[in-house]
């Protein structure tokens, strides 16, 4: 019986200890919960303070930005107005300057036209034809036949050649040789009945260097000219002289020939007489026998008329 009481007492003591332990743990748990709640409240308070501080800073920054933008806009408006005023001032000054320049240019144009008019009325007394000769000679050809030879000039990029009628007359074969010694067959397009001119066509599929005819109003006594041709078989020779007279009638054809002191020899016939503008002044035709410096050329306007009829 005493043992049973002792056992119950031990059990009661153990239960009391367990209860005390549970009570102690519950107290600790409650205290921890309170500490956690206090920490959360403190953390939330810190977060709220930080949020409020940031919102206040953002508000200040926004206000400052708006203030700076307004100030910049006001400054920009002021500078724009000033710039417009300056631009209007510059525009006015420019228009005034342009007006003055236009007046001056107008005066210069009048003086330039007057000078050109004076220059055009001057006879050419001297000119260096070296660069011109190097170019125009590319448009000059030797005209070879079974009867002899002469000269010719290409006046159209398609290979139309003008020469003297007497160079090809009674010939059964005709061909031309260019400055690079290329040989080309030709066909006779036509001959003039009242003037010593003939037109040939190079039968070759390519384009050629050619020369234009000069305006008759540009042909003046005293003007320096060159003759390009094959005098006495000396291919592509260049001789220089002046125009001695225009509209010189010396035969029954009634043609007003160009008289020149440029040496004209056998083989020069059909070659071009060229001015300082690289244009055909005339087609060299003949010289008076037993004379020096008395050569004659068919004028450009007559030659051009024949050329136009032949190319149509």
Is residue 105 domain-shared with residue 152, that is, in the same domain? no
Catalytic annotation on 269? yes
Is residue 207 domain-shared with residue 84, that is, in the same domain? no
Give me the number of domains the chain comprises: 2
Catalytic annotation on 131? no
Structural domain span for residue 86: 76-122
Name the catalytic one among 139, 142, 151, 269.
269
pLDDT digits (tens, 9 = 90+) for 41-64: 777 777 878 777 777 787 787 787
Residue with tokens 């919960």: 33
Angle of CA points 227, 161, 206, to nearest 5°? 120
Name the catalytic one among 151, 166, 178, 237.
166
pLDDT digits (tens, 9 = 90+) for 157-194: 999 999 999 999 999 999 999 999 999 999 999 999 88
pLDDT at 125 over 50: no
Name the catalytic one among 196, 218, 261, 278.
196
Residue 247 lies in a domain: yes
Query: Does an H or E element contain 273, and which?
Result: strand 272-274
Residue 39 lies in a domain: no
Task: Give the domain CATH number at 223.
Answer: 2.40.10.120
pLDDT at 126 over 80: no
Is residue 240 domain-shared with residue 287, that is, in the same domain? yes
pLDDT at 109 over 90: no
> How many CB atoms are located within 10 Å of the residue 251 CB?
11
- Report CA-CA distances (Å) from 128 to 84, 124, 137, 220, 260: 58, 11, 15, 18, 18
Is residue 236 domain-shared with residue 111, that is, in the same domain? no
Task: Name the nearest CA neighbour of 271 among 173, 188, 171, 179.
Answer: 179
Q: How far apart are CA 98 and CA 95, in angstroms?
A: 5
pLDDT at 226 over 80: yes
pLDDT digits (tens, 9 = 90+) for 239-264: 889 999 998 888 877 889 999 998 87
pTM (predicted TM-score)? 0.59
Is residue 158 domain-shared with residue 237, that is, in the same domain? yes
pLDDT at 119 over 60: no
Residue with tokens 């008329």: 305
Residue 283 lies in a domain: yes
């Amino acid at each position: 019986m005493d043992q049973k009481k002792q056992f119950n007492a031990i059990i009661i003591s153990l239960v009391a200890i367990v209860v005390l332990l549970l009570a102690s743990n519950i107290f600790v748990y409650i205290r921890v919960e309170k500490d956690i709640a206090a920490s959360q409240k403190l953390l939330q308070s810190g977060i709220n303070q930080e949020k409020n501080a940031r919102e206040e800073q953002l508000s200040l920054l926004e206000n400052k930005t708006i203030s700076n933008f307004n100030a910049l806009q006001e400054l920009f408006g002021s500078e724009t107005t000033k710039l417009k005023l300056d631009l209007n001032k510059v525009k006015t000054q420019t228009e005034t300057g342009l007006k003055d320049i236009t007046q001056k240019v107008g005066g210069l144009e009048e003086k330039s036209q007057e000078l050109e008019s004076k220059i055009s009325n001057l006879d050419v007394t001297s000119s260096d034809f070296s660069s011109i000769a190097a170019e125009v000679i590319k448009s000059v050809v030797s005209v070879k036949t079974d009867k002899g030879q002469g000269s010719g000039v290409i006046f159209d990029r398609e290979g139309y050649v003008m020469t003297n009628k007497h160079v090809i007359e009674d010939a059964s074969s005709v061909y031309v040789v260019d400055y690079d010694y290329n040989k080309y067959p030709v066909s006779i397009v036509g001959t003039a009945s009242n003037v010593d001119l003939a037109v040939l066509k190079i039968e070759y599929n390519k384009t050629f260097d050619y020369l234009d005819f000069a305006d008759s109003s540009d042909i003046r006594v005293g003007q320096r000219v060159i003759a390009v041709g094959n005098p006495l078989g000396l291919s592509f020779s260049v001789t220089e002289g002046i125009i001695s007279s225009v509209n010189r009638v010396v035969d029954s054809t009634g043609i007003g020939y160009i008289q020149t002191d440029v040496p004209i020899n056998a083989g020069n016939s059909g070659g071009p007489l060229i001015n300082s503008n690289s244009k055909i002044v005339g087609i060299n035709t003949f010289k008076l026998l037993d004379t020096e410096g008395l050569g004659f050329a068919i004028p450009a306007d007559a030659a051009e008329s024949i050329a136009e009829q032949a190319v149509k």
